Structure 1
Amino acid sequence: MSKTPRQMSLIAFMQAQNCTNYAGSWRHPDSMTDSLSPEYYQRVARTLEEGKFDMAFFDDRLAIPDIYGNSHRDTVKYGVRATKLEPTAVLMAMAMATSRLGLGATYSTTYYEPYHVARLYATLDLMTKGRVAWNVVTSMNDSEAANFGHEEHLEHDLRYDRADEFMEVVMGHWDTWADDAIINDKASEIYADPDKVRRLDHQGTYFKSRGPLSVPRSRQGNPVILQAGQSGRGLTFAARWAEVVFCKYPTLEGGKKQYKGLKDAVANAGRDPSLLRIAPELKIIVGETESIAKEKRDLIASLSRPIDGLTMIGETLNIDFSNRPYDQPFTDEELAAVSWQSLRDKVIQVSGKKNPSVRDFVEASGRGTLNDGPCFVGTPTQVADQMQEWFENACDGFVLSGTTVPGTYEDIVRLVIPELQRRGIFRKEYPGTTLRDTLGLRRPNAGDWKKGAQ
């Protein structure tokens, strides 16, 4: 009997805002303009579920980009990620239009409390019948800090120390109800067994939280943990907690090294690396012919503006580039203070300079352009060939970024997914009802996270 080939995971990289992470997407003549309505997200959700996507997840920031020039004016004027809706509310609008699609949303461990996050996501998981993921972030800039009453953002490694304890509290709260605690026996007038509901009574360095949580466990146990740590302290955090890792591969060869490094880190943390899904970000521009695909790419590329990159780099690095000489190298001290360290490391690697300048950050990062990460352009066969090569050598699937909405995802579902299905590397039907079923992740038992068993 032949063995079923390993199945690729496909995750849509969503933004609850006026554009995708490609800021110029809103300028495309075919992009929808009703991003402040539920119909916008529900149309995309139905398309993704028709294509049997694993999940859609929402990136988020807790401030609009306003570090460039210490002002929000350019962000608002040019629509550079200018609106940011609360992602879990948008997630629920999509949930009501689907029944199998997984749904993830970003929440910060720096500016929220563990009990609130535990209660929110446990409720979301119940209301979606086990289809939710939490994208764990530590946030990245002073603008976010200012919105929560702080003078500046926490230092990088300190944020992750706090995040580790934050995760311990959230996971602990998710375990306060046993799976069989609820009895619902009307005859004896017993709703639940009090011996199977316990307090957490956590007291640590950063948090004190009693419990028990007011929300029982869902059919998938607890929400799936999504994270984007790629280097240094973030990699250590991902190795301990993540079940799906969203990453960036500049090249296939670099991806092979990152893939092995993360899988090894997970094994060293005492977890089974086969239960971790690693998915690099990818843009796809596909057409019925190669010339059609290239025409689409040229139009999409023409939508980028210099202000997009300058605004987005300032947001992610927590640095105002507006008054800095374009070719002045950053000092070692300035580079050490950069918030997004994996992006800094990428720029150093691509530019070949130990102390890159603003020009190097703009050109090497590709922020705000189609050069920000790999972009596969071509016919369905050409795109699937590249995806299969990466999948067989360096990843478990892909996080697919939109360049037009809903066009990107409609094209992928109509043209690329049938080719992947023909090759036997992508599903034709959902295997179950929960996100864990779709991802091939086991349902965790209470306390598994303490043993490193995810």
Structure 2
Amino acid sequence: MHLAAFLNAGPQGTVGWRHPHAGDGFLSAAHYVKIARVLEDAGFDLAFIPDSLAVPRSLGNSFDPAVRWGTGTPRLDPIPVATIMAAATTHLGIAATASTGYLEPYNVARTFGTLDHLTDGRAGWNVVTSFQDAEAQNYGQEKLPDRATRYERAEEFLEATTRLWDSWSDDALAPDKATGVFGRPEEVEAVDFRGRHLAVQGPLGVPRPPQGYPVIIQAGASPAGRDFAARWADVIFCSHESLDSAVDFYRDIKQRVAARGRDPQQVKVLPAATTVVGTDAAEARAKHEAFVELVTPEAGLSRMAYHVNVDLTRYDLDGPLPSLEEVGVEGHYREIVEFAEREKLTIREIGRWYGARTEGDMVGSASQIADTMETWLDAGAADGFMVQATHVPEAFEDFASAVVPELRSRGLLSEQPAGPTLRERLGLHRPERGEWRNRAASTAPVVVGS
């Protein structure tokens, strides 16, 4: 089992900051250093830092709800946070988010190539295409481009970025103080990439990363997102409201990966798991119910509107959620629809639930949570989990002290890292120079059975 931790560079979740045991130092380096050390000591493979390039305006076309309730804001730049966490650890992988919508391949290749060198091969890049109109408006656009355009740009972005990482061979550096020769220019090549949306000459000013490519993470749940992930991703982060939907997603992704000529075992699927640990089921439920009481409907609606990129105030909040054609994060929207239809909830009620939802149904004792995780693994729904904390650092500490020993006792979690790099820890091969050709070779849609 692979374990990753979902950690905002800011307040955790919708109301995690309100929890009486929550730390309040998210603007300090010490906050992230402490969490990094908890995760490393517990044997986590990876800390995953999401990001957003705007203060959300999705609810009522105003940033008031996001600021008032602390939903989706503030967000620190994840790269300095990742660097601080990496410096405080030895084995923990660190993945930061960067958008293909508003950055350039050279910047991203340089940043993550540098981070991979400085961490001895522990860096990961969470690829996002962005999902909010507010982000577009911070970068000179009136509205977020449509999904097809965003993924078309992302395809070019990944090809250009991986080609930049490959612009140096692994042995291009050969510093010889006696002769004064520093490198082998014949082992360095220009990229000369030109697409519809992007162009870059290269070569990159950073030698090839220790991992070949830093681990590439992606979380798209739409058909376009799944196909993109099947070509490029090493790790897929997903979110499901039921085991059945998780199994369907896992099967579909693995089929898409195989259809692209890649080994399905080389793409790890990590569903979200919001864990609430108690000494028994009753204590865990009581802890979660107390957490739910912290959520106001407005805070939950603000978070939900942020994720679906739809102004929910346009609808009757005491009526059912209408069908939404174009949404921001399709995976979260599908969760919302599945739960709302099952429970017959109004939009306002959905908001309250969404503000404190526990993904993966992992509220219970350590053994019960381990049982659920084992069930998901055996059912073919996961290769591991992206553990989400209701509040930090305590919820991660609870998981580390109670659930991790239970997983180890069952042989589900390794006692020692599989190797020094993040790729080795995840059981992923190191890409040969030029692997981008295999991943970018075919961009025609692949249709697979569900």
| Cα distance in structure 2, aligned partners of 1:327 and 1:446 | 56
Q: 1:313 aligns with which of 270, 285, 304?
A: 304
| Cα distance in structure 1, aligned partners of 2:44 and 2:402 | 14
Q: 1:141 aligns with which of 128, 132, 135?
A: 132
Letter paired with 1:16: A
**Gap change, CA 1:75 and 1:425, over 3 Å in 2:** same
Counterpart contact for 2:72–2:306, Cα < 8 Å: no
Please report how far the alpha carbon of residue 77 of structure 1 lies from its aligned counterpart in structure 2 after TM superposition: 2.2
Deviation string for 1:414-445 (max 9, x for gaps)? 00001110111101111211101110111111
Q: Does 1:419 align with 2:403?
A: no
Q: Does 1:160 align with 2:151?
A: yes
Partner of residue 444, structure 2: none
Please report how far the alpha carbon of residue 227 of structure 1 lies from its aligned counterpart in structure 2 after TM superposition: 0.3
Q: TM-score, normalised by structure 1?
A: 0.92
4+ runs of 1 displaced by more than 6 Å?
328-332
Letter paired with 1:24: V
Partner of residue 283, structure 1: 274
3-state secondary structure, aligned to 2:143? coil
| Cα distance in structure 1, aligned partners of 2:139 and 2:167 | 29
Deviation string for 1:256-275 (max 9, x for gaps)? 11111100010011111011
Q: Does 1:450 align with 2:437?
A: yes
| Cα distance in structure 2, aligned partners of 1:265 and 1:66 | 35
| Cα distance in structure 1, aligned partners of 2:226 and 2:69 | 34
| Cα distance in structure 1, aligned partners of 2:376 and 2:338 | 21
Deviation string for 1:49-85 (max 9, x for gaps)? 0001010011111112222122222222222232110
Partner of residue 375, structure 1: 361
**Gap change, CA 1:427 and 1:365, over 3 Å in 2:** farther
**Gap change, CA 1:294 and 1:339, over 3 Å in 2:** closer
The 5 Å alignment of 1:255-274 reads 255-274=246-265
Partner of residue 4, structure 1: none
Please report how far the alpha carbon of residue 330 of structure 1 lies from its aligned counterpart in structure 2 after TM superposition: 7.3
CA RMSD of aligned residues (A): 2.2
Partner of residue 32, structure 2: 41
Deviation string for 1:310-343 (max 9, x for gaps)? 11122122222234322567777xx323233333
**Gap change, CA 1:216 and 1:94, over 3 Å in 2:** same
Partner of residue 69, structure 2: 78
The 10-residue stretch of structure 1 (237-246 or 361-370) with the greater mean CA deviation from structure 2: 361-370
Please report how far the alpha carbon of residue 359 of structure 1 lies from its aligned counterpart in structure 2 after TM superposition: 3.1
Counterpart contact for 1:350–1:364, Cα < 8 Å: no
The 10-residue stretch of structure 1 (409-418 or 247-256) with the greater mean CA deviation from structure 2: 247-256
Counterpart contact for 1:313–1:362, Cα < 8 Å: no
Counterpart contact for 2:58–2:302, Cα < 8 Å: yes
The 5 Å alignment of 1:105-144 reads 105-144=96-135
| Cα distance in structure 2, aligned partners of 1:380 and 1:313 | 29
Counterpart contact for 2:65–2:299, Cα < 8 Å: no
Counterpart contact for 2:129–2:150, Cα < 8 Å: yes
The 5 Å alignment of 1:44-59 reads 44-59=35-50
Partner of residue 387, structure 2: 400
| Cα distance in structure 1, aligned partners of 2:349 and 2:435 | 43
Counterpart contact for 2:113–2:208, Cα < 8 Å: yes
| Cα distance in structure 2, aligned partners of 1:374 and 1:422 | 22
| Cα distance in structure 1, aligned partners of 2:251 and 2:349 | 29
The 5 Å alignment of 1:167-246 reads 167-246=158-237
Q: 2:327 aligns with which of 338, 342, 345?
A: 338
The 10-residue stretch of structure 1 (252-261 or 36-45) with the greater mean CA deviation from structure 2: 252-261
Letter paired with 1:11: A
| Cα distance in structure 2, aligned partners of 1:272 and 1:299 | 44
| Cα distance in structure 1, aligned partners of 2:365 and 2:340 | 32
Q: TM-score, normalised by structure 2?
A: 0.93
Counterpart contact for 2:56–2:132, Cα < 8 Å: no
Counterpart contact for 2:320–2:346, Cα < 8 Å: no
| Cα distance in structure 1, aligned partners of 2:329 and 2:364 | 32
Letter paired with 1:150: Q
The 5 Å alignment of 1:54-65 reads 54-65=45-56
Letter paired with 1:433: P
| Cα distance in structure 1, aligned partners of 2:333 and 2:52 | 19
Counterpart contact for 1:347–1:361, Cα < 8 Å: no
The 10-residue stretch of structure 1 (229-238 or 114-123) with the greater mean CA deviation from structure 2: 229-238
Counterpart contact for 1:100–1:434, Cα < 8 Å: yes
**Gap change, CA 1:231 and 1:337, over 3 Å in 2:** closer
**Gap change, CA 1:137 and 1:361, over 3 Å in 2:** farther
| Cα distance in structure 1, aligned partners of 2:71 and 2:327 | 21
The 10-residue stretch of structure 1 (237-246 or 78-87) with the greater mean CA deviation from structure 2: 78-87
Counterpart contact for 1:321–1:358, Cα < 8 Å: no
| Cα distance in structure 2, aligned partners of 1:340 and 1:42 | 30
Partner of residue 5, structure 1: none
Deviation string for 1:84-118 (max 9, x for gaps)? 10001100010111010000011000010111111
Letter paired with 2:402: L
Task: Give aligned pairs, total.
Answer: 440
Please report how far the alpha carbon of residue 232 of structure 1 lies from its aligned counterpart in structure 2 after TM superposition: 1.1
5+ residue gaps, structure 2: 441-450
| Cα distance in structure 2, aligned partners of 1:182 and 1:415 | 47
| Cα distance in structure 2, aligned partners of 1:44 and 1:365 | 28
3-state secondary structure, aligned to 1:23? coil
Counterpart contact for 2:317–2:348, Cα < 8 Å: no
Partner of residue 421, structure 2: 434
Letter paired with 1:155: D
Counterpart contact for 1:41–1:90, Cα < 8 Å: yes
| Cα distance in structure 2, aligned partners of 1:430 and 1:419 | 18
| Cα distance in structure 1, aligned partners of 2:182 and 2:349 | 59
